[in-house]
């Protein structure tokens, strides 16, 4: 990669960002497409977020990703939001469109693409169980409802967080049967997809979800990708169910961000192969 006087700047803001795999996968996609961009990590603390975004604006940054803990706090610092970002209430991608900072959310679309590509699973008309009601769940549930889910049960430890999602998306998607429970039902035979959006499983701790309760055609998806096989996925694989971790979602949200910034579709599978290496 040659950085010259015309190279345009892309990056990722977060706190911390040193662990992010996005610089690696985005720069590989830039190089593969022969484009003149560079993507860099841009650590910024919550206390300095507004100064940070003002600085990026002043420097004419072309686009950036937003990660924990700024996905919600960045909203009032932007000029416009896409309909998805507005409905979800969180932004993971910003594009500088003629001086206007426009916020997008590509996480949910990335999840649906990953479900289709890796598991051949289409949410249209499906019966879904989503564990968690945090930021990742908000984007996931929006995209699953928009993709035509028939019934979606949210299971979360904190009742109020989940109830707020049922209210929010119930208005937006009146055709979807949205429900909430504090614990997972013991029988899940009619569930087509069990999706974990919580961080439980990253440290090897088991989620209180038993794939044995699922029917044999159900699929299991865990947004966690480190470790590559969470206890939930290990149990699903042992049961013989189709399952996948969140690596495909991470790659697919990145592909969508890349296309928003550059107008180019990255080489198919490239970002995922970078993440797997
Ligand atoms: P978040 O906003 O902090 O939400 C965390 C969720 O996990 C909440 O529902 C929380 O429940 C639940 N939770 C946390 N600890 C728990 C415990 N001990 N027992 C039961 N529930 C617990 O975080 P997030 O941004 O949604 O991220 C969640 C996970 O998704 C992380 O592992 C993240 O790495 C992953 N993720 C992956 C991708 C990808 O591309 N693959 C993208 C985004 C996020 P309460 O509401 O009760 O606190």
Residue boundaries of the structural domains of the chain: 8-105+254-276, 108-245
Backbone angles phi, psi at 115, to 5 degrees: -60, -40
Say if CB 173 and CB 151 are below 8 A apart.
Answer: no
**Which residue lies with its CA nearest to atom 41 of ligand 1?**
246
Ligand 1: residue of 134, 162, 225 to mutate (most ligand atoms within 8 A of CB) is 134
| Residues tagged active-site | 71
Residue 200 pLDDT > 90: no
Give pTM, 2 decimals.
0.94
CA distance linking residue 83 with residue 142, whole number of Å: 11
Q: Which atom of ligand 1 has the smallest separation from the CA of 161?
A: 46
Residue 259 corresponds to which tokens in the numbers above? 């296309």
Q: Which atom of ligand 1 has the smallest separation from the CA of 245?
A: 41
Burial 7-45 (b: 16+ CB within 10 A, else e): ebbbbbbbbebeebbbbebbbbbbeeeebebbbebbebe
Ligand 1: residue of 65, 68, 197, 204 to mutate (most ligand atoms within 8 A of CB) is 197
Residue 14 pLDDT > 80: yes
**Which residue lies with its CA nearest to atom 3 of ligand 1?**
134
Q: Which fold has domain 108-245?
A: Rossmann fold (3.40.50)
pLDDT range class, residue 29, cuts 50, 70, 90: very high
Collapsing DSSP states into helix, strand and coil, what is residue 118?
A: helix
**Which residue lies with its CA nearest to atom 12 of ligand 1?**
198
Place of tokens 């995922």: 272
Place of tokens 């049967």: 177
Collapsing DSSP states into helix, strand and coil, what is residue 157?
A: coil
If we measure between CA atoms, which residue out of 20, 21, 99, 23 comes closest to residue 59? 99
Domain 8-105+254-276 matching CATH 3.40.50.10860: the answer reads yes
Q: How far is the CA of 126 from the centre of ligand 1 (A)?
A: 23
If we measure between CA atoms, which residue out of 266, 267, 217, 221 comes closest to residue 247? 221
CA distance linking residue 233 with residue 256, whole number of Å: 26
Q: Which residues line ligand 1 (CB under 6 A)?
A: 68, 107, 132-137, 156-158, 161, 197-200, 202, 223-225, 246, 249-250, 253
CA distance linking residue 136 with residue 154, whole number of Å: 13
Instruction: Give me the percent of the chain exceeding a pLDDT of 90.
Output: 90
List pLDDT tens digits, range 88-122.
999 999 999 999 999 999 999 999 999 999 999 99
Instruction: Check for a shared fold between 8-105+254-276 and 108-245.
Output: yes
List pLDDT tens digits, range 32-50.
999 999 999 999 999 999 9
């Amino acid at each position: 990669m040659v950085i010259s006087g015309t190279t345009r700047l892309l990056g990722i803001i977060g706190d911390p960002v040193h662990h992010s795999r996005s610089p690696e996968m985005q720069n590989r996609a830039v190089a593969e497409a022969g484009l003149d961009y560079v993507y860099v990590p841009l650590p910024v603390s919550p206390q300095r977020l507004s100064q940070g975004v003002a600085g990026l604006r002043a420097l004419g940054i072309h686009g950036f990703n937003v990660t924990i803990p700024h996905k919600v706090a960045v909203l009032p610092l932007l000029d416009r939001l896409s309909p998805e970002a507005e409905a979800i209430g969180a932004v993971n991608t910003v594009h500088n469109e003629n001086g206007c900072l426009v916020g997008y959310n590509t996480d949910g679309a990335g999840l649906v693409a990953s479900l289709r590509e890796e598991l051949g699973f289409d949410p249209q008309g499906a019966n879904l169980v989503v564990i968690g009601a945090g930021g990742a769940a908000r984007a996931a549930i929006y995209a699953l409802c928009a993709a035509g889910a028939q019934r979606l049960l949210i299971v979360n430890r904190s009742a109020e967080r989940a109830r707020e999602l049922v209210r929010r998306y119930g208005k937006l998607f009146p055709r979807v049967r949205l429900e909430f429970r504090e614990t997972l039902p013991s029988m899940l035979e009619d569930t087509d997809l069990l999706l974990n959006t919580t961080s439980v499983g990253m440290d090897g701790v088991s989620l209180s979800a038993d794939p044995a309760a699922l029917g044999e055609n159900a699929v299991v998806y865990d947004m966690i990708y480190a470790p590559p096989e969470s206890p939930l996925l290990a149990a699903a694989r042992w049961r013989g169910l189709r399952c996948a971790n969140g690596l495909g979602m991470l790659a697919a949200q990145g592909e969508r961000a890349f296309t928003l910034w550059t107008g180019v579709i990255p080489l198919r599978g490239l970002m995922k192969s970078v993440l797997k290496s």
